[in-house]
């Protein structure tokens, strides 16, 4: 297939608003791909490269040769060129990489270059979400959509599933199953504004877990082999020896555990999130983590392009089977979870104990046949029932000596693993078992010190008390869970609902950036500032475009052009007069901004025309929230 045709499809999808039309465009392109092009081509349509790490960064893309006038590239040729780039190592590698990159871009037309730039930067904005691509695969291969979705969630890689469906049909899709060593898309939680709202969705009785402010981990063990994966399905085993040590100490032959890893202080309270993030990030993502320290997931950095990668990450919220596509940035930093940042230096990428899965496989764990009564699974751990109280500040977490010893080899802060679910245990898949049975098996397998704190509640008052205790202990909040629900891999359903305290501040808009993609032609990304009572000026806290409806975008485009004092090609500086109410999840340290702090997950609630800039919240209030104090 000609690469220019794929680029044309990408552009057409970006320009099309209707879901059905987008799906048909994608399906038509998938049908035209040759069998050997399916993995790479479907990846390009998803906005990702088959190669997890290419060595090509922003600096490499600044100086490129002129575009070609006639298209000569093919999908297979582009994939081969990128594969060659990814293999460049050793002395003279930078020069060789520049030569290969120049050759590729020199052979690309303007339309093809646009697609290539989006793929290399991880910022391809075309509106082809994972859910749409799953539909397109089903339509192109003429297979049932549920079969594609199930395979996608278990395989954790859209490219692999697309290739299987388009070459082997429904029969090939049935070959995908949970395989110990191959990560699968994690179950996700919806958000609720209150405990009452969460319980309305889940029902009573319910189970309440503490929501830790760490990174999501999925740990696979088969004998002596242990692999640790992030929420975005990147492998970080070599970077978290304490997690490996904790799982190695468990008396089980085969395990798949779902949990969180978090850095704690001596009292058992969470340390700043970026400390956890920087410890767990793959080497290819470390610089991104450092960059992200100054901007939260809702704070979108210097350009509209920065947003596209984060929005691509949010595809995971709907059907996170696109390896390397996550939030997380939706809920987690892409950098912190390794998303799109590529492989670890020790091998990296999604793997099955060393081998990247490229096709469905039945090899691996011993599989059970038919329904399984988890109560018959032998008790192999040392723990009894799950702990029945939420930890408070006076009850610091216990860190196993083996975990501390392993952490000493990393030279960094200790990452303590906590687990809240088990998906496989010694030959038995537990995905379809109800939660209470999975959690009973987890409690029999993992020691109490390694379990996320969990209680069962029968009333709103009990759940509210658990929420207050979790927040007082320095945690993010709670996750309310339905005890009868199966593990819905990769889905964000009503069976798990998270509740976090919502902070709000009235801040002042200091500048606005012109949007791109769907927001092209509108002033979009807001630069937010808190009032500094000492200087009379404003201290920037970050940026956000989250929460902006089309109506607000239209309104603020007119409003901020009226307030403009300096009009750049990208950023419009404005008089600091407009107050906006911002919701956010927390405040983190940030060397990126002069105030030393930035908001996490900032989003617009409403504009406050009833307030003047002199009535905006101060930087002292922001710092008080950062320090865990109640603002004056």
Residues with catalytic roles: 211
Q: Are strands 586-589 and 597-600 parallel, antiparallel or unpaired?
A: antiparallel
Contacts of 158 (CB under 8 A, 6+ apart): 42, 43, 46, 130, 133, 134, 137, 152, 321, 322, 323
Tell me the three-class secondary structure of 222-261, residue by residue: ECCEEEEEECCCCECHHHCHHHHHHHHCCCCCEEEEEEEE
CA 598 to chain centre: 19
Residue 515, CA distances (Å) to 62, 206, 220, 296, 311 in order: 21, 43, 42, 19, 14
Question: DSSP of 265-289, one letter per residue?
Answer: -TTSPBPPHHHHHHHHS-GGGHHHH
Q: Hey, what are 527's tokens?
A: 């630069």
Give the bridge partners for 226, in sequence order: 221
Contacts of 560 (CB under 8 A, 6+ apart): 509, 512, 523, 572, 574, 578
Burial of 110 (0-12, 13-18, 19+ CB in 10 A): exposed
Inter-residue contact 318 to 131 (CB < 8 Å): yes
CA angle 330, 122, 22 (to 5 degrees): 80
The Cα 423–Cα 421 span in angstroms is 7
Helix, coil or strand: residue 311:
helix
Name residue, tokens 């057409």.
Answer: 12
Q: Hey, what are 472's tokens?
A: 């007082």
What sign results for the dihedral spanned by CA atoms 622, 339, 311, 202?
negative
Helices (H), 264-393: 273-280, 286-292, 304-313, 334-337
Tell me the three-class secondary structure of 183-202, residue by residue: CCCCCEEEEECCHHHHHHHH
Inter-residue contact 301 to 291 (CB < 8 Å): yes
Helices (H), 58-121: 75-87, 93-106, 110-121
Burial of 234 (0-12, 13-18, 19+ CB in 10 A): buried
The Cα 17–Cα 24 span in angstroms is 12
Inter-residue contact 86 to 54 (CB < 8 Å): yes
The Cα 608–Cα 326 span in angstroms is 33
Contacts of 476 (CB under 8 A, 6+ apart): 211, 212, 213, 470, 500, 585, 586
Tell me the three-class secondary structure of 426-451, residue by residue: CCEECCCCCHHHHHHHHHHHCCHHHE
Give the bridge partners for 513, in sequence order: 525, 571
């Amino acid at each position: 297939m000609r690469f220019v045709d794929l680029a044309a499809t990408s552009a057409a999808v970006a320009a099309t608003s209707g879901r059905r039309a987008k799906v048909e465009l994608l399906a038509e392109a998938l049908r035209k791909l040759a069998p050997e092009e399916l993995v790479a081509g479907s990846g390009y349509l998803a906005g990702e490269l088959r190669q997890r790490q290419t060595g090509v960064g922003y600096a490499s893309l600044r100086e490129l040769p002129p575009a070609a006038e006639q298209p000569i590239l093919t999908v297979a040729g582009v994939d081969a060129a990128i594969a060659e780039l990814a293999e460049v190592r050793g002395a003279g590698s930078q020069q060789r990489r520049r030569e290969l990159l120049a050759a590729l871009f020199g052979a690309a037309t303007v339309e093809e270059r646009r697609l290539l730039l989006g793929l290399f930067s991880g910022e391809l904005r075309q509106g082809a979400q994972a859910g749409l691509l799953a539909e397109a695969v089903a339509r192109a291969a003429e297979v049932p959509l549920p079969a594609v979705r199930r395979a996608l969630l278990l395989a954790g890689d859209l490219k692999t599933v697309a290739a299987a469906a388009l070459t082997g049909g429904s029969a090939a899709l049935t070959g995908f199953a949970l395989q110990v060593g191959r990560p699968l898309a994690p179950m996700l939680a919806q958000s609720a504004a209150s405990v009452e709202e969460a319980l309305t969705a889940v029902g009573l009785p319910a189970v309440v877990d503490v929501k830790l402010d760490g990174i999501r981990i999925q740990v696979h063990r088969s004998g002596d082999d242990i692999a640790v994966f992030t929420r975005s399905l990147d492998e970080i085993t070599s970077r978290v020896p304490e997690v490996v040590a904790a799982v190695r100490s468990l008396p089980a032959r085969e395990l798949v555990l779902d949990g969180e890893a978090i850095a704690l202080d001596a009292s058992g309270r969470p340390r700043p999130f970026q400390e956890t993030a920087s410890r767990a990030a793959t080497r290819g993502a470390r610089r991104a983590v450092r960059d992200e320290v100054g901007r939260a997931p809702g704070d979108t950095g210097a350009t509209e392009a920065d947003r596209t990668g984060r929005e691509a990450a949010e595809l995971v919220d709907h059907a996170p089977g696109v390896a390397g596509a996550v939030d997380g940035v939706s809920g987690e930093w892409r950098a912190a979870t390794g998303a799109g940042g590529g492989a670890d230096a020790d091998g990296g990428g999604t793997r099955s104990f060393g081998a990247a899965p490229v096709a469905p496989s039945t090899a691996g764990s011993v599989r059970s046949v038919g329904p399984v009564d988890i109560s018959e699974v032998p008790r192999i751990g040392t723990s009894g029932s799950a702990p029945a109280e939420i930890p408070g500040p006076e009850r610091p977490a216990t860190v196993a000596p083996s975990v501390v010893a392993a952490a000493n080899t990393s030279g960094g802060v200790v990452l303590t693993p906590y687990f809240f679910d088990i998906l496989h245990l010694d030959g038995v898949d537990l995905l379809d078992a109800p939660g209470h049975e999975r959690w009973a098996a987890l409690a029999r397998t993992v020691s109490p010190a390694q379990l996320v704190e969990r209680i069962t509640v029968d009333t709103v008052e009990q759940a509210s008390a658990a929420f207050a205790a979790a927040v007082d202990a320095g945690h993010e909040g709670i996750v309310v869970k339905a005890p009868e629900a199966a593990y819905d891999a990769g889905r964000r359903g009503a069976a798990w609902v998270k509740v976090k305290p919502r902070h709000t501040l009235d801040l002042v808009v200091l500048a606005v950036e012109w949007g791109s993609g769907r927001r092209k032609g509108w002033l979009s990304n807001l630069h937010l500032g808190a009032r500094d009572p000492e200087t009379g000026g404003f201290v920037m806290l970050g940026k956000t475009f989250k929460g902006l409806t089309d109506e607000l975008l239209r309104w603020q485009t007119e409003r901020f052009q009226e307030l403009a004092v300096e009009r750049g090609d990208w950023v419009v500086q404005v008089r600091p007069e407009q107050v906006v109410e911002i919701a956010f999840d927390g405040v983190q340290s940030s060397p990126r901004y002069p105030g030393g702090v930035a908001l996490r997950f900032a989003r617009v609630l409403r504009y406050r025309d009833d307030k003047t800039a002199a009535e905006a919240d101060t930087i002292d209030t922001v710092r008080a929230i950062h320090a865990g104090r109640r603002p004056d």
